[in-house]
Structure 1
Amino acid sequence: MQSQRSTATAQQRTTKKGSWHSGRWMLVLLALVCAAPVIASYLMYYVFKPAGGTSSYGALIEPQRPIPSQLMVTDEKGQSLPFKSLEGKWLMITVNGSECDEQCATRLYFMRQVRVLQSGERERVVNVWLRTDDKPVSDVIKTAYPQPDTRMLIASAKDVAAWLPVNDGAKLTDHIFLVDPNGNLMMRFPKNPDPKKINADLAKLLKWSRIG
């Protein structure tokens, strides 16, 4: 009888141990499945590159630069909020003063057209104009780039410059930047960019990644 009890106890321990290991591996598998879209999108750009050149038009930002937790912005209603609150979407960002010059207007136009070209995927993308002052925006610009497709947010020029890197000899206002839905700065496009090539990069990312 004692032997039978010992055997039963040992079997129970083995079953519990097996169940614990099984549960742990299920959690690991679930985590990998959830992370797969993110991993795939980064592998397509950081690892698998076609012969003869890189796979992207935009410059890849390495190491990752997540949205700073201290970066605060003022929205269109005058309310203050952390910029991190915009996470969850792909963000195309341009930086400029509120008196949007021709170069600024061109970047906003390119961003709008690239977003439109994503067709059914365009709702995954939000264009952001980080304004480095609180001067009024012209009615022409407001009408051409309405919310929520284009967000016009006021941010500290110093805080933005500390986060967004620029090319040698370039200015912060020369670039369009791309941030992934996890809040990581992913790409920087060159001065006077080719919108067709920006579109190709973004379309590829939206295809390979289901986040956002």
Structure 2
Amino acid sequence: MDQKIPTSQPISNPANPATAGGKQRQSGRWKLFAVIAVCAAPMIASYFTYYVIKPQSRTNYGALIDPRDYPIPELGSTTLDGKPESLDAYKGKWLMVQVDGSDCQKACQDKLYEMRQLRLMQGKEMERIERVWLITDDQPLQTMVMREYDGTKLLRVKPELLKAWLPVDADTSAADHIYLIDPLGHLMMRFPKDADPNKVKKDLSKLLRASSIG
């Protein structure tokens, strides 16, 4: 018996290349959005906790600052040898910032001492913190002060630009306060004049525990 040989074979219908490419692009976008969401989650949670959720049991010693009201301006800052350098150079760290002239008398040195000790008191978390002194003139610094507080980042700035940026308590100046900048470069907290170091330490510890950034 003769075997019947089919005269035609079923023809498969390959996927439309344009449609396949579109699906791949869409899948890639969703993956990108997922990565961004995972990276941004710690920052969002931290700000939601501090600026939206305000449980009665939580108290801050330092005054919280809405960073939208006080964006960091261009300060014309330079290193001691005159090279341009901005606070952006320290993004990724929590910054304790003080403002003073180069003469740096007792009140200025007290703040430098407190910032050094507050950083040390954070133990293994201390590497997440930098100390910054914004110097408001171009006079030489005391060698003794520079040696005593080695590790403090020193930047000369234009004082007129600071006045429009840093908020102060009534009857005080920026030189009376220590300020805190978060790792994303946002001004977020001001500590009072002659601040209690133990209370400042508690605020810093809370922030470092609450946030995985920096």
CA contact (8 A) 1:72 1:83 kept: no
2:208 aligns with one of 167, 186, 206: 206
Distance 2:139 2:22 in 1: 65
The answer for the alignment partner of 1:185 in structure 2 is 187
Distance 2:85 2:21 in 1: 48
The answer for the alignment partner of 1:32 in structure 2 is 37
Q: Which runs of 5+ in 2 are unaligned?
A: 1-7
TM-score (norm 2): 0.84
CA contact (8 A) 2:180 2:189 kept: yes
The answer for the alignment partner of 1:99 in structure 2 is 103
Q: Which has the higher helix share?
A: 1
Letter in 1 for 2:87: F
Is residue 50 from structure 1 mapped to residue 86 from structure 2 by the alignment? no
CA contact (8 A) 2:67 2:186 kept: no
The answer for the alignment partner of 1:154 in structure 2 is 156
CA contact (8 A) 1:58 1:201 kept: yes
1:131 aligns with one of 126, 129, 135: 135
Matches within 5 A, 1:76-95: 76-95=80-99
Aligned length: 205
Structure with the greater alpha carbon radius of gyration: 2
Give the percent of matched residue pairs that are identical in Structure 1 and Structure 2: 45
Compared CA separation, residues 211 and 63, structure 1 to 2 (3 A) = closer
Is residue 20 from structure 1 mapped to residue 43 from structure 2 by the alignment? no
Compared CA separation, residues 145 and 190, structure 1 to 2 (3 A) = same
TM superposition shift of 1:168: 2.5
TM superposition shift of 1:109: 1.1
The answer for the alignment partner of 2:115 in structure 1 is 111
Instruction: Calculate the aligned-residue CA RMSD, in Å.
Output: 2.3
Q: Which has the higher strand share?
A: 1
Distance 1:117 1:49 in 2: 26
TM-score (norm 1): 0.85
